[in-house]
Amino acid sequence: MVADKTTDGIAMAAYDLTNVMGPFMDVHFMFPLLDFLSSNEMYDEKALLAAKLELLKPTSMADFAVEIYQSLHGAGKVPAEFEKKRASILAEVTAAKKQCEPMLKLLENQDKIVALQNEGSLTAVFLEQHHGVTSHVLEGLYKYAKLQYECGNYQDCLTYLTYYGVLVPNASDKYMNALWGKLAAEILVFRWEDALADINRINEAIDTNGKTSLEQLQQRTWLLHWSLFVYAWHEEGRDAVVDFMLQSRCLEAIQTNAPWLLRYLAAGVILHKKRRPLIKELLRVIQVDDKSYRDPIIEFLECLFVAFDFDAAQAQLLECKNVLSSDFFLYEKNMASFMENARLMMFEIYCRIHKTIDISMLAEKLAMNEKGD
């Protein structure tokens, strides 16, 4: 993508991680990220529309694809391939719906579902014996849920995968696939509490799912990227992200596959005052990383806590505004809090190492007035 020609657009685009993180994101997650880039005018709008259209190819959101195509090329006739794909999608959905019809009929009767749950009878064995929900039907339910997701019907997908997950063995690949799909749907319908619970379930399951060490590392790298949505918007997310990323297996994934995630670990420590004791551990992680990834947030911490260079720290702090402005996961509600906490860090360190303090000079370094505003 080509950065917007404005000075602000170029400055923010320099710190944009969308392209770097894209390979670890579900394709449906990319649309809100691209919308954010569009709203910030960081890139040429046509380039963003073209990127959306390319991302839509593997999905089943045919109407959305037509809408983007017309935004890009005008409201004239669209290529026949769009209508052909729409017909193909409809046929797939119809077939999957027919395959899982016994389960769909049962789900329409929520009183019955609740009764089965209360009786402990909502099991694959019981439903096969009494309601005709065979393994073939369950396979159809998974297909139908996946198709609903691909069509952008995330809430319906979530409903079906929730019941599917109850009916398949927890140790199976089917359960893990459903759990990943359920997490994706929860993220896209903003069910942060449920999503946080599923992040923890997946994190635990990765260690016991019989995969190789390399496969586990890859899965945890994906989970770390997906978790950014949850930690950005969950009420306790700014605190929880630090605990999650500092887990030894998560740190291994970050250092091996995704050092750019150190941005969010560093930001989490700065944003949450109770996490200040973890700064030494964070700096150890950053220094072990050996400069494979750096940005102004990380450089700010190194300038302040390693070099004790307040001028350099202040310069990096000013540049942090461009970092936060470019970042979907940090921008929305963190700018003021981040800058306030970072300046407080500078004040505390400055007071700790200087016997006498020039208030005017310190205020200038912190970009504050002498009253401490």
Of residues 330 and 366, more confidence is placed in 330
Q: Give residue 270's identity as a one-letter amino acid code.
A: I
> Each residue of 108-160: pLDDT tens digit?
999 999 999 999 999 999 999 999 999 999 999 999 999 999 999 999 999 99
CB 44 within 8 A of CB 4: yes
What is the pLDDT confidence band of residue 31, given thresholds at 50, 70 and 90?
A: very high
> Each residue of 224-258: pLDDT tens digit?
999 999 999 998 887 889 999 999 999 999 999 99
| DSSP string for 143-158 | HHHHHHHHTT-HHHHH
What whole-number distance in Å separates Cα of residue 114 and Cα of residue 38? 45
In degrees rounded to 5, what are phi and psi of residue 43?
-135, 165
What whole-number distance in Å separates Cα of residue 216 and Cα of residue 249? 9
What is the pLDDT confidence band of residue 370, given thresholds at 50, 70 and 90?
A: very low
Average model confidence (pLDDT) across the chain: 91
CB atoms within 10 A of CB 180: 19
Backbone Cα Rg of the chain: 25
**Which residues, in sequence order, are bridge partners of residue 43?**
3
- pLDDT for res 373: 46
Q: Label residue 290 left, alpha or beta by phi (over 0 means left) and psi (-120 to 50 means alpha).
A: left
Q: What's the average model confidence in pLDDT over 266-294?
A: 87
| DSSP string for 58-119 | TS--HHHHHHHHHHHH-SSPPPHHHHHHHHHHHHHHHHHHHHTHHHHHHHH-HHHHHHHHHH
> Each residue of 343-366: pLDDT tens digit?
999 988 988 887 666 667 666 666
**Which residues, in sequence order, are bridge partners of residue 3?**
43
Residues 6+ positions from 178 with CB-CB distance below 8 Å: 142, 145, 161, 164, 165, 168
Return the SS3 of 309: coil
What is the pLDDT confidence band of residue 323, given thresholds at 50, 70 and 90?
A: very high
- pLDDT for res 235: 84
Is 70 exceeded by the pLDDT of residue 12?
A: yes
